[in-house]
Amino acid sequence: MAKTPTIELELTAMSREGQALGRHQGKVVFVPYALPGDIVRARIVEDRKRWARAALVRIVEPSPQRVEPPCPYFGTCGGCHWQHIDGAAQLAFKQDMVSDQLARQGQIADPPVLPVLAMNDPWAYRNHVQFAVSPAGELGFQGARSHEVVPVERCLLLHPLLDELHQALDVEWPELERLSLRAGIHTGAQMIILETRGDEIPELDVTMPVSCIVRRSDDTDMAIIGQYTYLETIHDRPFQISASSFFQVNTLQTEAMLDVVSRYLDPDPSDVLLDVYCGVGTICLSFQDQVGTVIGVEEHPAAIEDAWINAAQDEAVTLIQARAEDVLPQLEERVTKVVIDPPRQGCRPQVIDALIRLGAERIVYVSCNPATLGRDARLLAEGGYRLREAQPIDMFPQTFHVETVSLWQHQEADL
């Protein structure tokens, strides 16, 4: 079959999914692994009525912001999206993405979005990674253009504690489907999580002080070496984290994020702080000594168990294991400050409606997806809240993903 002819495109903008875009015959064309300012030859691989997607074939004229990717797997492995973009330009694109979604989806004119908080060193930051296993038993990541596993000898985004584990692994186990590595970068804790097709327990030869977990077919975890939890510290405060509990993948930027949350919350001993999607308590328990009462809501059983341990039996802390959309409409407690940190899907409408009914003077929204932040922003604005400030944080360098902390003030409250 003959290949589709290539077209020449001048790329002028960046999409919210991290792909450069241009126009050809009046239609928007998205090109991964390119950037605004590039002039490229590209081949259409998906053609829709109003838009098309193209594969980069050749760079005719590079953008001044284009750099040489340091990773030999870039463009083949699907883990990174932006290694070809200068660091300062990555930050500018992310700020624009947040502003654009708050304006478009949130219908907020001239949203007050600050420049992105960057890392001093935007490499070797990940404290958690999940590998897929190739048919040949090699560890790698899903390919950028296929569902095949791309074997990877070294990933430049892994923290040295994870890279050490990765380099030491010798995996020969046909039942293995996925393998995850986790680490506490401030504590030195290391963990291996094995996910298998059956419940057979492997024989392991381990010479490092590492916990090894088998995730069984019923999604329960069993520690076969060490513990099924590990410790990390955030601003010197310890947090227990179970193998299946969510924790931000970038510890240093999590500390930066908490600094922003603290500034936006302005915690006071009279406050009743509600943390929705609280996880292991990373946010709310960081302020438990600065507010009067903490209420945390979390659906995941292991995370709420971790949060109970992390709360250290503080009687001023109430933790509720439930879906946010189930418990918040029933909540009768007086709440003065709220933190919400939902998954990429954002908040269900019932959650936003309940928060508006509670009428807290401040809501601090921590988002990992500008599109759903923009969608929920419109609902908050319609419910009487005003966006005071949004601070993007580069939690995921070399990718198009961005964390955003935004401050919403009830219009009847004085800042």
Which tokens belong to 326? Answer: 């189930």
Closest CA to 344 of 403, 390, 394, 301: 403
| Inter-residue contact 226 to 220 (CB < 8 Å) | no
Choosing from 77, 80, 212, 368, the catalytic residue is: 368
**Cβ of 143: how many Cβ atoms within 10 Å?**
17
Q: To 10 degrees, the CA torsion angle through 161, 163, 169, 172?
A: 130
**Cβ of 110: how many Cβ atoms within 10 Å?**
8
Closest CA to 410 of 389, 383, 372, 391: 383
Identify the bridge partners of residue 113 per DSSP, sorted by sequence position: 390
Identify the bridge partners of residue 389 per DSSP, sorted by sequence position: 407
Backbone angles phi and psi of 96, in degrees to 5: -65, -40
| Inter-residue contact 399 to 121 (CB < 8 Å) | no
Report the distance separating Cα 150 and Cα 152, nearest Å. 6
Give one word for 215, left, alpha or beta, with left for phi > 0 and alpha for psi -120 to 50.
beta
Q: To 10 degrees, the CA torsion angle through 214, 215, 218, 221?
A: 80
DSSP 173: -
Active-site residue flag, 71: no
Report the distance separating Cα 250 and Cα 401, nearest Å. 12
State the distance between the two ends of the chain, measured CA to CA, in whole angstroms: 65
Bridge-based pairing state of the strands 51-61 and 27-31: parallel
- Angstrom distances, CA of residue 404 to CA of 151, 172, 367: 32, 41, 5
Q: To 10 degrees, the CA torsion angle through 232, 280, 182, 178?
A: 170
| Inter-residue contact 328 to 351 (CB < 8 Å) | yes
* Residues catalogued as catalytic: 368
